[in-house]
Amino acid sequence: MREMTNIALIGFGAVGKSLAETIRDKHDWLKERYGLDAKLVAISGRSKGSIYDSEGLDLEELLEVFNETGNLESYPKGIKGLSSMEIITETNAQIIAEATITNIKTGEPTLSYVKAALSKGKHVVTSNKGPAALAYNELQKLALENGVQFRIESTVLSGTPAINFSTESLAGHKITSVKGIINGTTNYILAEMEQGRPYEDALVEAQRLGYAEADPTADVDGWDAVAKIMILGNVVLGGDLRSSDVERTGITGITMEDVEAAKAEEKRIKLIAEAYMEDGVVKAKVAPTWLPLSDPLANVNGTLNAITVMTDGLEEVTVIGGGAGGLGTAHGLLSDIIAIHRH
């Protein structure tokens, strides 16, 4: 049996909490199936305090007290009050699981957390789109220099395979483009509008379901999709896209009349993000697109996401699945933790 894998969790919102619950619930199965003895040694949450025990936190007890008090520091044992940076740099965690809120403009503070962790020789798995979109190539280089891994499966399509699917399962194929529906909020709004529900009502419901970003303009103006297509363009196609390189149109200009007009032509309007090669350079765009109903992406409805990868060996390969939510995203993080353990 291999030794324990010590994990520190930064961020204790829906995703972070789901990861803690998943490790609690699947610990024995992970050990039996993969020889992974996953031990959460530290957790910090923006407004929920922090807790560290080098021997591992008792997740049963910790989650119970957290559910009662809303504060991690109600846990009766361990060291309290460490900052996220101290947890990253000064604890015995070998893997930093990072699930804080995305800042698409600067990537901070997460970008600094990731750099500090990698420089300290700690693996990083993150669901945060900021660092992956803004600095993937730099962070990957830093990880390599320090003999550790920087893994980002859950940044695109949450727990539905997208990144590792394209770079590992499809390894050997030359991939020339990736396109898809990579924002659940806008896909939900467009599908609801097709059912006759006004845009504003559908947006409120997407927020209630927990799909929308903290600031939903990031969804409806296309910024979330820009961040994700930058990740796909840079990671899967080997590009060096900046956000200013991505042509962007959101869905705020789409009217009920547009939706009806598309329907009359047996088409559906979808917010499509695409990264592709042009003259040897990776380009990307995000725009509402009228798709014929015969296109697999036209039939991806509700909050589902999908990507179609164009390969030389199989032509189009499409993956469809959930693209947001605590549990799904936590499983994307977990798959990266398992991958690190396997390597």
User: Can you give the binding site for ligand HSE, defined by CB under 6 A?
Assistant: 183-185, 211-213, 219, 224, 323-324
Nearer to ligand HSE, 52 or 211 (CB): 211
Nearer to ligand HSE, 177 or 183 (CB): 183
Residue 105 bears catalytic tag: no
For 92, half-sphere exposure in the C-beta direction (CA atoms, 13 angstrom radius) is 13
Sheet with 49-52: list strands edge to edge. Answer: 79-80, 49-52, 37-45, 4-10, 95-98, 123-126, 150-151
Contact 246, 285 (CB under 8 A): yes
Nearest approach, Cβ of 253 to ligand HSE (angstroms)?
19
Nearest one of 93, 91, 103, 90 to 148, comparing CA atoms: 93
Nearest approach, Cβ of 224 to ligand HSE (angstroms)?
5
Residue 199, classed as helix, strand or coil, is: helix
Nearest one of 75, 234, 242, 253 to 166, comparing CA atoms: 234
Nearest one of 332, 321, 293 to 182, comparing CA atoms: 321
Nearest approach, Cβ of 291 to ligand HSE (angstroms)?
18
Residue 276, classed as helix, strand or coil, is: strand
Nearer to ligand HSE, 6 or 329 (CB): 329
Nearest approach, Cβ of 323 to ligand HSE (angstroms)?
5
Nearest one of 245, 11, 234 to 140, comparing CA atoms: 234
- Number of residues in the chain: 343
Nearer to ligand HSE, 110 or 183 (CB): 183
Nearer to ligand HSE, 5 or 155 (CB): 155
Nearest approach, Cβ of 219 to ligand HSE (angstroms)?
5
The one catalytic residue in 122, 228, 267, 285 is 228
Cα–Cα distance measured from residue 53 to residue 58, given in angstroms and rounded to the nearest whole number: 9
Tokens of 243: 């956000």
Nearest approach, Cβ of 123 to ligand HSE (angstroms)?
22
Nearer to ligand HSE, 91 or 166 (CB): 166
Dihedral, 22, 23, 25, 30 alpha carbons, nearest 10: 110
Supply the residues annotated as catalytic. Answer: 228
